[in-house]
Structure 1
Amino acid sequence: MSAPDGSIRDMLAVNLKRLRSRRGLSLSELSRRSKIGKATLSQLESGTGNPTIETVFSLSRVLEVPISELLDTRPPAGLRVVRAGEVEALSGEGLDLRPLQRIESGDTVFEVYDQQVQAGSRRDSLGHVGTEHTIVQSGRLGVRVAGEEAELGPGDYVGFDAAQPHGYEALDGPVRSVLLLQYGKDRAPSQSPYASPGEGE
């Protein structure tokens, strides 16, 4: 999703400043709403911070924008090949996300990720904007969405409203899957639906 010549850190620095300014938020106010330290936010905006999945999802919620608005630049025209080894991973506890592409179609925006859940790891989210789609490629993935549970194997699919509390768990070894986040282009919630916006994906 990010440009070949721009790291996640660099893209986040540029876009975070722009989006914070657009929302009229000071660093202090963004810190208060996101539960991310002011010093950490300052480092992220200067391009010297080390963004995690939790940080990016929290900022996405507070700023009410898709994740790609924080990490993306304009995609190049023509054939685009994304090599797994050349994409910088956005990492969190037990989870790596590699942004592959942002796709705009009509009034819908899709973000495509290579998602890897480490063996024995469980990832929980209070929710975030959009609809979440996951297709398991390898391993067995436990999925919980608003109290419902399902177990997925290779080739299985799950989809749900991502605003609901949800989580993934690698059941018997690492899990690799394709994660597709879907947004309405004009969807901008008037307020965050999350009780504790500091909790990340």
Structure 2
Amino acid sequence: MQTMNQHLAQRLKALRSELGWSLDAAARATGVSKAMLGQIERGESSPTVATLWKIATGFRVSFSSFIEPAPTAKGDVLYRTADAIRQQPAGEGMQVAPLFPYEGRFGFELFELTLLPGYRRESEPHEPGVTEHVIVISGTMEVLVDGEWRRLEQGAAVRFAADRPHGYRNLGDVPAIFHNLIHYPSPQSPERP
């Protein structure tokens, strides 16, 4: 099985080639330094979730497309287990399991995300029209929406426009696990070959 860093390196190279972008052009579009992008392409760096989001947003592709290839399903049935696909990018305090990576025919990607105690991430806005749906599975977390941190406990859910600044944090002593469905507007095509 291909590691996340190998897949990310190949995906980034392929996208740059498809668009005819230099590392300089990719750095301007993503806000990630040319040096960092080069290290990622060579498999020498394990980027954080925040860096992966910047790259995905700059290239106008889905976040999950950098974690693993789109799944292959027999017919319309796809079984996935979070324990088998959970990863911890850059060893930071968030674990990511892309339960259903982005597929254009559906227009969304669904993650199981685990915030380890003390983890905090504020996200820059995604592309216009992107929405997020957060459902807390276990633990307690806070979500930053419209400039205000709101506490969410097990069973709580929120939907918000993700094309504005937003964030997640876990101020507790145990991990907080939630599902995050990210919906992309249709004419946007966040999956390039």
Number of the residue aligned with 2:125: 127
Number of the residue aligned with 2:179: 178
Number of the residue aligned with 2:45: 49
Alpha-carbon offset, residue 112 of structure 1: 1.7
Q: Distance in 1 between matches of 2:89 and 2:171?
A: 22
Number of the residue aligned with 2:6: 10
> What does 1:156-167 correspond to in 2, within 5 Å?
156-167=156-167
Number of the residue aligned with 1:193: none
Determine if the alignment matches structure 1 residue 88 to structure 2 residue 87: yes
Amino acid across the alignment from 2:126: H
Number of the residue aligned with 1:27: 23
3-state secondary structure, aligned to 2:107: strand
Taking structure 1 as reference, are residues 92 and 167 closer, same or farther at Cα in structure 2, changes over 3 Å only? farther
TM-score (norm 2): 0.82
Can you list the C-alpha shifts for 1:86-106, whole angstroms capped at 9, x where unaligned? 533335753222222225474
Can you list the C-alpha shifts for 1:138-157, whole angstroms capped at 9, x where unaligned? 11111121224422110111
Taking structure 1 as reference, are residues 59 and 155 closer, same or farther at Cα in structure 2, changes over 3 Å only? same
Number of the residue aligned with 2:57: 61
Q: Distance in 1 between matches of 2:80 and 2:166?
A: 31
Number of the residue aligned with 1:168: 168
Number of the residue aligned with 2:101: 102
3-state secondary structure, aligned to 2:15: helix
Alpha-carbon offset, residue 53 of structure 1: 0.7
Q: Percent identity?
A: 34
Number of the residue aligned with 1:146: 146
Structure 1: runs of 5 or more not aligned: 190-201
Amino acid across the alignment from 1:114: E
Count of residues in correspondence between the two structures: 184
Alpha-carbon offset, residue 164 of structure 1: 0.9
Structure 2: runs of 5 or more not aligned: none
Taking structure 1 as reference, are residues 80 and 118 closer, same or farther at Cα in structure 2, changes over 3 Å only? same
Alpha-carbon offset, residue 28 of structure 1: 1.8
Taking structure 1 as reference, are residues 32 and 105 closer, same or farther at Cα in structure 2, changes over 3 Å only? closer
Correspondent of 2:73 among 74, 77, 98: 77
Q: Distance in 1 between matches of 2:102 and 2:65?
A: 12
